[in-house]
Structure 1
Amino acid sequence: MRKPEWVRKDGFHLVGIERYTSAGPQAIRLAWDEFLDRIGEIRHSAEPQVLYGYEDYTRDFKMIPESFPQFYYLAGLEVEKAEDIPKGMASRYVPPATYALFRHEGPLSEVASVFHYIYQEWLPSSGFEMDPRVMGDFERYPIPVTDRERAVVDIHIPVIPASSEESRRVEIVEQPELRAAVIRSERSGHGTRLAWAKLREILGDHHALEEAGEGLVFIPEWQWATGVRELWTGVKVDSFDGLPGDLDRLELPARLYARIAVKGGRSDMDDAYGHLNDWFTVSGYKRDTAEGVYGFEANRLAPVNPFEIPADSIEWFDYDIYAPIASPGIDALQDPGRREG
């Protein structure tokens, strides 16, 4: 799957020639022809050499089977202020948003196929959806197009985390206070398995181990900036009373987490971690990496205990990642599905 970059852009104004595409893609070509003839009339341009093509889906948008979509298209420039607009031109304000940016380098004739990939393949399975506060996308041409076969086009799709349960991959959950008996180890699959074996040896037939449905691996969030060096592997306990003295103890306060499931092979695991990072970028929520804050992985122990499979042999993963959430950012305007963990 082709991966986008993530770009945050403040609100901005465009001025240019606008046409409705009821006559098909030729309406877009006519808009560009007239715009390029009149580009010198636009005042207050922010970047005179950078051109925009804006698709507005807020007015009279129609999807007709076997036909070109109908929408308003504006070929234009970004301006510092929408004033002194030339006669026959239009201005549009684009609200602030986070964008999935797909760069196309090649023939202009292939831009349509990139849009097809984005909306037919990438977006439906991405865990994101178009930002309803914008409902439009745009192409940005960062350098002048002097050769139609070697154009550089940055396609911007405004997105937010998906709102439907079918499409959503990250849940915001309220996790109650958590106590765990743990063993500290180096950060490696081999290290966590040694820690689990030691935990079992120390706890023996302790009810916390016998009743555990999940094996927990705790991650020191404050180490992400310099590289996580150590982990704590253990099980949930109701109380620290009566635990053997050579076990470490972790106590996490009740708080919010971003939770994503990992179920599959190593590529699925890598994809889940990547999507979680993208989610924090897009959602406006901030990951809490303050000193003393832990995230954790909750590994299901049945039907197969992953800690009993050698790290270099395991091929299937089944666990949930819990990433601690700091206070929401300014763009976390809606809760995309809060749950109690």
Structure 2
Amino acid sequence: MISEIKTISAKKFIGLNLNMSFIDNKTAELWRSFMPRRKDITNTISNDMYSLQVYDENFFSQFNPATEFKKWALVEVTDFNTVPEGMETFDLEGGMYAVFYYKGNPFNAAQVFGYIMKEWLPQSGYVLDNRPHFEVLGEKYKNGSDESEEEIWIPIR
């Protein structure tokens, strides 16, 4: 898996969120509720979608698969002037990220994130930062396909 370090500026998003855990994973439910409404967001920057996770500060150091976190289904927008009813805004602060370019079935996420957190990160010289993690689901993302491509963004310092 190819990776690189990138620093990004702040971004604005609109979308939906759910609280969930790895044991009680509601990702499919979240995206089923978001996808029919994403075209209601009129001030998008691109067709890319973002799957974004907000974890508590000790989430990974005291990992428990039953611990809840907030997961968002989002699109990037130019501003918050028009927010569809029932949707929420999210401001992502800028910062440094390790970006992993993953090609393969999205259902293999546990192995991919295991490699990033247990192998790549400890050997990288970086430490995990307490900011949101996200995946960019662009034109080459195909849910359930071995040919799917996505970017995995891990906050580091």
Q: What is the TM-score normalised by the length of structure 1? A: 0.42
SS of aligned partner of 1:73:
strand
Partner of 2:115: 117
User: Residues 22 and 156 from structure 1, CA distance in 2 versus in 1: closer, same or farther, beyond 3 angstroms?
Assistant: closer
Counterpart amino acid of residue 8 in structure 2: K
Which of structures 1 and 2 has the bigger CA Rg? Answer: 1
CA-to-aligned-CA distance 1:221-262 (integer Å, 9 cap, x gap): xxxxxxxxxxxxxxxxxxxxxxxxxxxxxxxxxxxxxxxxxx
Question: Would you say how many aligned residue pairs link Structure 1 and Structure 2?
Answer: 155
State which of 141, 154, 157 in structure 2 corresponds to 1:157. 154
Map 1:37-186 to 2 at 5 A.
Answer: 37-47=36-46, 49-58=47-56, 65=64, 67-132=65-130, 135-143=131-139, 145-146=141-142, 148-149=144-145, 150-160=147-157
Do the aligned partners of 2:53 and 2:132 also contact (CA within 8 Å) in 1? yes
Q: Which protein has greater RCO, CA pairs closer than 8 Å, 6+ apart?
A: 2
SS of aligned partner of 1:128:
coil
CA-to-aligned-CA distance 1:105-146 (integer Å, 9 cap, x gap): 1111012321121112211222101234xx211000121534
**Structure 2: tracts of 5 or more residues without a match:** none
User: Residues 79 and 58 from structure 1, CA distance in 2 versus in 1: closer, same or farther, beyond 3 angstroms?
Assistant: farther
User: Residues 3 and 147 from structure 1, CA distance in 2 versus in 1: closer, same or farther, beyond 3 angstroms?
Assistant: closer
Map 1:221-240 to 2 at 5 A.
Answer: none
**Structure 1: tracts of 5 or more residues without a match:** 161-341
| Alpha-carbon distance in structure 2 between the residues aligned to 1:86 and 1:142 | 22
Do the aligned partners of 2:2 and 2:102 also contact (CA within 8 Å) in 1? no
| Alpha-carbon distance in structure 1 between the residues aligned to 2:29 and 2:58 | 19
| Alpha-carbon distance in structure 2 between the residues aligned to 1:60 and 1:28 | 22
| Alpha-carbon distance in structure 2 between the residues aligned to 1:17 and 1:60 | 24
Q: What is the TM-score normalised by the length of structure 2? A: 0.85
SS of aligned partner of 1:115:
helix
| Alpha-carbon distance in structure 1 between the residues aligned to 2:2 and 2:142 | 27
RMSD, aligned CA: 2.4
Do the aligned partners of 2:14 and 2:74 also contact (CA within 8 Å) in 1? yes
